[in-house]
Each structure stands twice: as C-alpha cells, then as structure tokens.
Amino acid sequence: MPRHRLHRHEPSTPVPLLISVFRYGESEYEEKKIKSLSEIDAIAGKSRVTWINIEGSADPAMIEQLGERFGLHHLVVEDIQSRDQRTKVEDYGEYLYLTLKMLSIDEKTSRVQSERMNIILAPGLVLSFQEGLQGDLFEPTRGFIRKDKSRLRSQGADYLAYELMDAIVDSYFVILDHLADRIDDLEEKAVSDPSSDTLKSIHTLKWEIISLRKSIWPLREVISTLERGQFTIIKKNTELYLRVLYDHTVQAIDEIETFWDVVSGMIDIHLSALSNKMNEIMKVLTIIGTIFMPLTFLAGVYGMNFHHFPEITWQYGYLMFWIIIVLLATAMMFFFKRRRWF
C-alpha cells in the first residue's frame, strides 16, 4: 500500500510575492508593505527591532540580492531556495538560521498540509521566508507589535523569533485536535462498518501521523539547542520562554505518540470487527444449512423413484409431509433460539 505523507503544497501558479516590514521599539512602531528590496535600506536599522517577512514565490535572484544585503552565507541562500530542508538551527556567528515546518488544514480536503518556514535571527533583525501558501499563523504576533506597551515591543529580536516559533507550535495543537476528531470517527467506523474503505482511511491516517511526527520531532531538538544558553543572540529572559515552548513541543510529541498507539490498535479493532462480522454471517448460514439438512433428507427420501411407497397412496400423505417439515423446522429454530445461537 502506498505511503501517504503530509500534503505538501506545490502551487501550479506562483503565489504573489508579499514583503511586509515591521520596525518597532518600546515607544515606536511602523508597519509597511514594500514592493522591492531597494526600499529595505531606507527602513532596516532605524529601530530597535526590524522584522522583514517575505511571503510567496521569490525568484532566486531576489534571494541572492537579499543575502548580499544582509551578509548571508551562500549556503544559507541555497537552503532558503531549496524546497527540501529538514527542521534545524545553524549558527553562523553573527546570526542564526532556522528552518521549521508550518502546518495547517486544507479546508477543501481536510488534510494536513506542510509549508517550510525559514528564519534568520540577527541582533535587531528577523528575516522570515514563507513559501507556497497564502496567509500565515502570525496575525496575533502582528497584533502584539501594533499594541502599545506590549511585552513584545519591549523585547529584542530574539523574543520576536520566539513568538514566531510559539505561533507555529500552537498551530500543531490545532492539527492534533483535528486528527483526534478523525481518529474518533474512524474508530467508530472500524467497529460499525469494517469495510475496505475504512481500512484504507486508517492506513492513510497512520502515515499522516508518521509524517507529522517527522515534522515536529526535530523541532524539540532545535528549541532545546536554543534554550541552552550557548548563543549570545538569545538573551537569558528569552531562554525562559523557550523552555516553556520546549515543554509544549514535548507535549505535542506525546500526543502524537498516543495517536500512533491508538491508530495501530485501531487496525486490530478493524480486523477483529471484520472477523466477527464474518463469523456472524457464517453462523447464520450454518443455522440455515442445519435446518434444511433434515428437510433435504426427507425430500430426498420421498423423491426416490421406487414404485412401492406406503405413503404414496395415502390421501393425506402430501399434507402430512408438509406438516412434518414445518414442525421440524420450527422445533429446530426454537431449540437454537433457546440456546442463544442466534
């Protein structure tokens, strides 16, 4: 059976490029949408924190230009353009490079879809790159930036990177709730309707859980690395929040492991229900065959072509034959019912 992985969005047409810039301090805030990278030079560096979010299909030339503007290593530029990168964190001295998986529910298919998210964290600067899907999970974060005297406005770029990761981890629990509902529905079907379609749905869900585990599990190591205090970019205050985020990630992984056990057991439940259904069918067929066995015997005896049969010339022989047949069948059904065989 083919493996069903998390649906990865591959747009047939390029998603429109959207570049948004937030720059803020404790007492100031500015939000702007720009159309070209030339406008970044006039924005970045003027405030305590600058967040540049690039959403959609960016051409390689633009990514390379952005890398030159912010002094990114050519390996980072290549990773940003690559579509197949595992969740990781890499230290390049002056900045950190993070790759995460941003998950969401496809409203049309109800399947979990995956989008890669790249984050560059430098002193006073966060660069984020989103691919493929329109929209994201960061509207609450933008709301905190817009709000005066919010905790985010008083913190540095490392706290902003934490907020982005926290939004991604929170979305995992939405995905897990969605999977929990699907598991409940399939569990009921596995008992009440043990069909081949149900078994196929169980296997599909099983491989989605495996792929989800592969997406979330590495994030635990990434957050653990960030909160150990080995990076000067990450401040002590932010490390405390990262520890809480690490606990949330572990909780999500524990739920995934529980789902895995439930779905694995669901296959056994489905096979048991299918076996019970088959046993019920065989029991009914056996009872029918057992009832007709003596009736067939009598019909066979009186269907023989012998000339001298004592009952053949009897006026009520045919009627008596049917009375015996009905009484015998009724007696056997009453016996089976009393023994609770059906």
Dihedral pair phi/psi, residue 274, rounded to 5°: -65, -40
User: Which domains are present in the chain?
Assistant: 7-272 (3.30.460.20), 275-338 (1.20.58)
Closest CA to 195 of 114, 254, 270, 296: 270
What local confidence, expressed as pLDDT, does residue 57 receive?
Answer: 66
**Spatial contact of 44 and 6, defined as CB atoms under 8 Å apart:** no
CB 271 within 8 A of CB 195: no
Q: What pLDDT, on a 0 to 100 scale, did the predictor assign at position 169?
A: 92
- Give me the pLDDT at residue 41, please: 61
Question: In a 10 Å sphere around its CB, with 0-12 CB exposed, 13-18 middle and 19+ buried, how is residue 66 labelled?
Answer: buried
Listed as ranges, residues in the chain with pLDDT below 50 are 1-5, 8-13
Structure tokens at 36: 């070209």
What is the structure's pLDDT at 271?
75
Reference 51, options 121, 140, 126; nearest CA is 126
Bridge partners of residue 53, in order along the sequence: 20, 128
Secondary structure E strands in the chain: 7-8, 18-24, 29-34, 49-55, 88-91, 96-105, 112-122, 125-130
pLDDT value at residue 2: 42
Residue 51: what pLDDT?
92
